[in-house]
Amino acid sequence: MKTINYSNQPSLFDWADSLSEIKLETSTCTKRITKTPLMRQYHEMKRKHPDTILLFRVGDFYELFSEDARVASEILKITLTRRCGSPKDNPIYLAGFPHYALDSYLPKLVRFGKRVAICEQLEDPKITNNQVKRSIPA
């Protein structure tokens, strides 16, 4: 089994909140990453619950980003994708699963000793003209 060391990869959450765009320049990848309203919302929730794996509801899916995506993909055996190239290019990792699979995936994360925060949509995205409100229920 091949082991990959991700410890030298920058975290999505290390970026300054005040920046609206960040330009990553690496040996083979120069890509402009825009902090969308959705990602700002995700960062806000992650800052409030930094020691958890954050399941972030987007439509019919729970999405995971960055380190959460890497950890969950290993435990849950789900596909890990990335934006911005290969591991040496400082990519942004993503993973996700359909909302109806929560009952099977959540217990697996807990059995592996992970704390999980579930961020739900509070509005129907089809009805609202603004950004969908989300919250982590108490």
Give the torsion sign (CA, 115, 136, 126, 82).
negative
Distance CA 4, CA 90 (A): 14
pLDDT in tens, 65-87: 999 999 999 999 999 998 875 55
Q: Please name the residue that has the structure tokens 């609202």.
A: 128
pLDDT in tens, 110-127: 999 999 999 999 988 888
pLDDT of residue 18 exceeding 70, the answer is no
Stronger pLDDT, 134 or 15, i.e. the higher one: 134
Q: If we measure between CA atoms, which residue out of 26, 45, 134, 40 comes closest to residue 83? A: 26
